[in-house]
Structure 1
Amino acid sequence: MLQNNRELKGKIDLLWDKFWSGGISNPLTAIEQITYLLFMKRLDELDLKRQSDAEWTDEKYTSKFEGVWVPPEHRTKLSGRESATELVEILAHDRHQYGVDKRTLRWSEFKRMQAEEMLQHVQGKVFPFLKDLNGAESNFTHHMRNAVFIIPKPALLVEAVKTIDDIFEVMERDSRENGQAFQDIQGDVYEMLLSEIATAGKNGQFRTPRHIIKLMADLVQPQLGHKIADPACGSGGFLLGAYQYIVTQLAINAGTNNLTPDEDGFVRTSVAATLTEKAQAILASSLWGYDIDATMVRLGLMNLMMHGIDEPHIDYKDTLSKSYTEESEYDIVLANPPFTGSIDKGDINENLQLGTTKTELLFVENIFRLLKKGGTACVIVPQGVLFGSGGAFKTLRQLLVERCDLKAVITMPSGVFKPYAGVSTAILLFTKVWGSKDKVTQPATEKVWFYEMAADGYSLDDRRSKQEGNGDLQDIIVQFHNRDSCSTAADTDTDRTTKCFMVPRTEIASEKNNYDLSHSRYKTNVFEDVHYDAPGVILERLIQAEVGEVDEMELARVQSGIVRELLELKGMLG
């Protein structure tokens, strides 16, 4: 992943240092301001590419930077009773008096301005234009209403613009050389900035590593037409992961056959893959995200828009609260909800029945509620959810086993989320079979596939440097999709000494196991017989290592030190 590109990391470090020294020291404020600039840059690039593609295919495309833009505050308020002639005259007057040539709002245009002029132009025209990009009634404009551009110094803006140009150049080269055709640009910068600050991970504000998102997408295999959600979406990484997977499958189905695996072993292609207008419209309307942090909502909206989704469905909502009423809406839910402890009991949606305030449990129950019957979720949880002894823990696990087809429990090593957090986590993959009010006539799960991930292709320390190979990532995908063909009917003969195996529901639900879902509960440990030398022989060897070959009389004269103590131990053994 790009986090291992030293040149890019150096550029990100430089950008962060510039904002810090320029007076913007709050991490999320800096990230948001940087995202605005990334958005300006990416919007220009995407528009130019669409123009070029339209010319190549001889299709019509209207550039976002074509014509004249009138700032909202200078638009004449209309009563709705104007005649067509009056309306034309009013619009013509506004454009003539207050209109801004949209071409000057392009990144490639304003970056050539002098420092003072550039700052005034970006503050007074470019940023207001971005906020108004999708029209006054759009979701994007609504969430951008309170956004402010607060880069205070001309020199800081000039340096930031130059550094961002350099970052995109490095990313393009990385894409060509390492097969990373699809880049989560804003997400990568966001993650790398967070890794620079001590408060990374506070309140759950950290991003799921891209290779884990790709793993989860390959497990779920979302399809065009599926309605996909993330109820705690942050910067939109899971939604982009689903989008990327679907785009890749459409490209393969259309005959693209020269795709090579990326550095994590996944086959992916970019948004540049040929999509029909209908497919693009279906895909854009398929992705839904919610978050309780207004800054993250803006970041998520811009992130998806930077990848060609013009009207993202990302909104400010607390999906655990009483005000969130959606139920049985989604075919796929991909999520890594925050593990922030407890929330106020009075705020919890009455439809959530676990009787707990622990968010890691409530989110999983809520995800179950959001799924349509037959819908599938792939969710990251702290490993404590698998074996916690409290009543709510057991009730949730029972729900997953009896009302859902719990397909897989994949435990991950604690280093996967470093440097943000060292918590051990697991991936739960389940399909909803019985609704929360249905009478369960037959438990939905027959058997559960367990896998113990030992490595994810990166070092498990704070550095998270790329290792040779892909760890267990590709093995997990192959083994999961072949799990039925390699297991017996009763699953009593599966080899539980290996890292993956099947366990029947009857064993999990037994009185002995009480719906425990921890891998170690069912794994058979293999103990090897190890032969050790007799203690006297070991002591003799230690003494020789200290003093070499000497006779007994000389040894007897040793009065103190470790040799004396070893001799005394030897004497005790007789």
Structure 2
Amino acid sequence: MITGELKSQIDQIWNTFWTGGISNTITIVEQLTYLIFIKDLDETETRNERMAKRLNKDFSPIFGKDQQNFRWKNLKEMDVQARHEIFNNSVDGIFPFIRSLGSEKSLFSTYMKDASFGINKAATLDLVIEKLERVDMSKQDIKGDIYEYLLSKLEGGGTSGQFRTPRHIIKLMTEMMQPTLEDTICDPSVGTAGFLVAAKEYIDKHNSVTDLDKHKEHINKTMFNGTEFDATMLRIASMNLFLHGVEEPNIVDVDAVSKDNTVSDAYTLVLANPPFKGTIDKESIAPGLRNVTDTTKTELLFLALMLRQLKKGGRAAVIVPDGVLFGAGKAFKSIRSEIVKNHKLEAVISLPSGVFQPYSGVSTAIIIFTKTDNGGTDNVWFYDMQADGKSLDQKRNLLVDAELFNDFAFGDAFAKRKELIKDADASADEPKKEGDDKEDGYDFLPNKKEKQDTIHAKFNLPQILDHYRYLKSEYWGKMHSSKGELLHVQDVPENLGLDKFMSGTCTHDYADRTSQSFLVPLKEIKENDWDLSINRYKEIVYEEVEYDAPSEILERIKETNSVRNLLLEKLQKSL
């Protein structure tokens, strides 16, 4: 959620549309999205030009020689009327140019064919561009927050349980799943494509330019997939992915759980936050989905859809409402038993109820599973997230350092951890300089446990990611039993991974049900009718309160009464 100056800037732009005679919410969102897209196109072109010059290599420009007037840097300097004519020109103007981006038969060009200019007054366009130029959108998180804020104006943030997923939760799920260049990724409720964009950013960050170039065809045409039936979302998702280097994203105009969606065994990774409260007419539901869970509830049908669409060995990280985890109905139990018994459920991460504020206080969880078709669930990892780095009220104020909040996954910081320790050791005897007190990446180094614990009380995401990495690593099992109990092991720290994870991760007792992070065996889940709610398994420790003996309490009451009577006597005598 955006606040402060940024919110004020966007509100001013919104008011400019209103005073210019444009009051339809969808129209404002679309027109502003187009302008942000045009601005981003120019910024992308500028970055490519600089990189090509630095590397002394050619690149494919977005703008041709005859289209330089369409670049934001040139548009903002133009005469007001001349600029408006470029936008208004339906033959050789900027909107025909936008519609021509991507290949002729691509889905991007299909969804952009209806993109049209809707600002009739040149003065209104001039004011919007002037104010938009002042907005710092250099970071993708800011762009995402702006999109989220704009879309929140559409019927209060969502319909049928559709709420915009906070960017840091998207990032957590993406970092946990670690998408690769070989993956084919899908979000069946794609919205603005936040999950797919996060996956693309992760892939860009963790692969060389050479490897990215080798997989260019796959990245541009087949890697990123999604379904969405809202025309506005289709255009926004397509533009968002295009700006992140996906030229022809495969975003399909279809109701994901309907008969019209026939895709199966196609994807290796699903990242999603499907609608929570939607329903669909029984006759429209794809028959195969009802074989898994006989219901009209979209939150259950989407899980069945993911199992159908994943290839064997494919994995998924999905946000679900708490009701999915403990619902007593037959449909709820059948989808849970299907995932746990016939596939491999790996993790259930309970999210605080305020994560979706200010739009909703709904309680949710992230579930992570792998499609196997032959079981494989042994011990399920549960984590009780209590703090996500922001206040859990309507304001959602940041509680930790902004740099830490944005970079909690550290990207390759675990690889550079040794360098940080080495640098710290090398400079231990050097006199301190101004600014040396800044913690930065040291906050989660092994020798910073006190600082780490202080931050953890407000921000659990680094520990969640670290525990998950450890449970999936080659080091798991060296210090723990299969149930998660801590073993007494005699070995050097490096062999146990102590230098590769946060302080406390390798020595945590994952069998301790009173902690935030623990394992539950398949047998126990089955005995509890496939219940996956964390409260079913977490043990609450109540502090014993000792009271004085009744006789002592009565004696104190008598003493208090005696003092009171003496004070009353003195007061009466003074009258």
- Coarse TM-score class (shorter-chain normalised): 0.7 to 0.9
Larger mean Cα displacement after TM superposition, 18-27 or 205-214: 18-27
Correspondence list, 1:1-150, <5 A: 3=1, 6-67=4-65, 101-124=66-89, 125-150=93-118
Which secondary structure state, in structure 1, belongs to the residue aligned with residue 160 of structure 2? helix
User: Match for residue 442 of structure 2?
Assistant: none
Q: Does 1:320 align with 2:257?
A: yes
* 1:481–1:17 distance in 2 versus 1, CA, 3 Å: same
Whether contact under 8 Å (2:343, 2:371) holds in the other structure is yes
Q: Does 1:298 align with 2:235?
A: yes
Correspondence list, 1:78-227, <5 A: 101-124=66-89, 125-167=93-135, 170-172=136-138, 183-184=140-141, 186-195=143-152, 199-227=156-184
User: Match for residue 482 of structure 2?
Assistant: 489
- CA drift at 1:196: 5.8
* 1:249–1:61 distance in 2 versus 1, CA, 3 Å: closer
Which secondary structure state, in structure 1, belongs to the residue aligned with residue 157 of structure 2? coil
Residues in 2 aligned to 1:133 and 1:340: alpha-carbon distance in whole angstroms: 36
Whether contact under 8 Å (1:184, 1:303) holds in the other structure is no
Residues in 1 aligned to 2:178 and 2:559: alpha-carbon distance in whole angstroms: 63
Correspondence list, 1:336-485, <5 A: 336-352=273-289, 353=291, 354-434=293-373, 440=374, 443-468=375-400, 469=455, 471-483=459-471, 484-485=476-477
Residues in 1 aligned to 2:153 and 2:258: alpha-carbon distance in whole angstroms: 33
Residues in 1 aligned to 2:142 and 2:159: alpha-carbon distance in whole angstroms: 22
Whether contact under 8 Å (1:394, 1:514) holds in the other structure is yes
Whether contact under 8 Å (1:123, 1:149) holds in the other structure is yes
Q: Summarize deviations over 1:121-159 as a string: whole Å, max 9, x none.
A: 212111121112225322112112223221222222111
Q: Summarize deviations over 1:419-470 as a string: whole Å, max 9, x none.
A: 1111000000000010xxxxx5xx4211111111001001001111110246
User: Match for residue 550 of structure 1?
Assistant: 564
- CA drift at 1:112: 2.1
**What is the identity, as a one-letter code, of the residue corresponding to 1:499?**
Q
- CA drift at 1:487: 4.4
* 1:541–1:231 distance in 2 versus 1, CA, 3 Å: farther
User: Match for residue 564 of structure 1?
Assistant: none
Whether contact under 8 Å (1:290, 1:314) holds in the other structure is yes
Residues in 2 aligned to 1:473 and 1:395: alpha-carbon distance in whole angstroms: 31
Gaps of 5+ in 2: 401-454, 486-509
Per the normalisation by structure 2, the TM-score is 0.78
Residues in 1 aligned to 2:35 and 2:297: alpha-carbon distance in whole angstroms: 38
Q: Summarize deviations over 1:40-89 as a string: whole Å, max 9, x none.
A: 1111121222223223322223423224xxxxxxxxxxxxxxxxxxxxxx
Correspondence list, 1:254-269, <5 A: 254=208
Residues in 2 aligned to 1:188 and 1:40: alpha-carbon distance in whole angstroms: 18
* 1:360–1:6 distance in 2 versus 1, CA, 3 Å: same
Whether contact under 8 Å (2:184, 2:223) holds in the other structure is yes
Residues in 2 aligned to 1:21 and 1:56: alpha-carbon distance in whole angstroms: 45
- CA drift at 1:538: 7.0
Residues in 2 aligned to 1:21 and 1:537: alpha-carbon distance in whole angstroms: 74
Residues in 1 aligned to 2:353 and 2:64: alpha-carbon distance in whole angstroms: 51
Q: Which has the larger radius of gyration?
A: 1
**1:519 paired residue among 503, 509, 534:** 534
Whether contact under 8 Å (1:4, 1:465) holds in the other structure is no
Residues in 2 aligned to 1:244 and 1:296: alpha-carbon distance in whole angstroms: 20
User: Match for residue 277 of structure 1?
Assistant: 213
User: Match for residue 75 of structure 1?
Assistant: none
Larger mean Cα displacement after TM superposition, 286-295 or 378-387: 286-295
Residues in 2 aligned to 1:244 and 1:344: alpha-carbon distance in whole angstroms: 37
Whether contact under 8 Å (1:195, 1:419) holds in the other structure is no
Residues in 2 aligned to 1:458 and 1:6: alpha-carbon distance in whole angstroms: 15
* 1:555–1:148 distance in 2 versus 1, CA, 3 Å: farther
* 1:517–1:556 distance in 2 versus 1, CA, 3 Å: farther
Residues in 2 aligned to 1:275 and 1:374: alpha-carbon distance in whole angstroms: 24
* 1:151–1:340 distance in 2 versus 1, CA, 3 Å: farther
**What is the identity, as a one-letter code, of the residue corresponding to 2:467?**
Q
Residues in 2 aligned to 1:197 and 1:297: alpha-carbon distance in whole angstroms: 15
Whether contact under 8 Å (1:328, 1:370) holds in the other structure is yes
Residues in 2 aligned to 1:210 and 1:419: alpha-carbon distance in whole angstroms: 14
Residues in 1 aligned to 2:10 and 2:562: alpha-carbon distance in whole angstroms: 57
Q: Summarize deviations over 1:517-539 as a string: whole Å, max 9, x none.
A: 11111112212210235679779
Residues in 1 aligned to 2:551 and 2:307: alpha-carbon distance in whole angstroms: 63
* 1:109–1:407 distance in 2 versus 1, CA, 3 Å: same
User: Match for residue 199 of structure 2?
Assistant: 242
Aligned residues: 481
**What is the identity, as a one-letter code, of the residue corresponding to 2:245?**
G
Q: Summarize deviations over 1:369-413 as a string: whole Å, max 9, x none.
A: 111110100000001100000000000110110111100001101
How well do the aligned residues superpose, as a CA RMSD in angstroms? 2.8
**What is the identity, as a one-letter code, of the residue corresponding to 1:498?**
S
- CA drift at 1:274: 7.3
Whether contact under 8 Å (2:2, 2:146) holds in the other structure is no
Whether contact under 8 Å (1:213, 1:238) holds in the other structure is yes
Whether contact under 8 Å (2:272, 2:319) holds in the other structure is yes
Residues in 2 aligned to 1:476 and 1:456: alpha-carbon distance in whole angstroms: 10
Residues in 2 aligned to 1:162 and 1:544: alpha-carbon distance in whole angstroms: 76
* 1:537–1:35 distance in 2 versus 1, CA, 3 Å: farther
* 1:115–1:328 distance in 2 versus 1, CA, 3 Å: same
Gaps of 5+ in 1: 68-100, 176-182, 255-272, 435-439, 559-574
Whether contact under 8 Å (2:389, 2:399) holds in the other structure is yes
Residues in 2 aligned to 1:446 and 1:47: alpha-carbon distance in whole angstroms: 50
Residues in 2 aligned to 1:408 and 1:135: alpha-carbon distance in whole angstroms: 40
Larger mean Cα displacement after TM superposition, 274-283 or 376-385: 274-283
Which secondary structure state, in structure 1, belongs to the residue aligned with residue 77 of structure 2? coil
Larger mean Cα displacement after TM superposition, 45-54 or 192-201: 192-201
* 1:62–1:507 distance in 2 versus 1, CA, 3 Å: closer
Larger mean Cα displacement after TM superposition, 3-12 or 470-479: 3-12
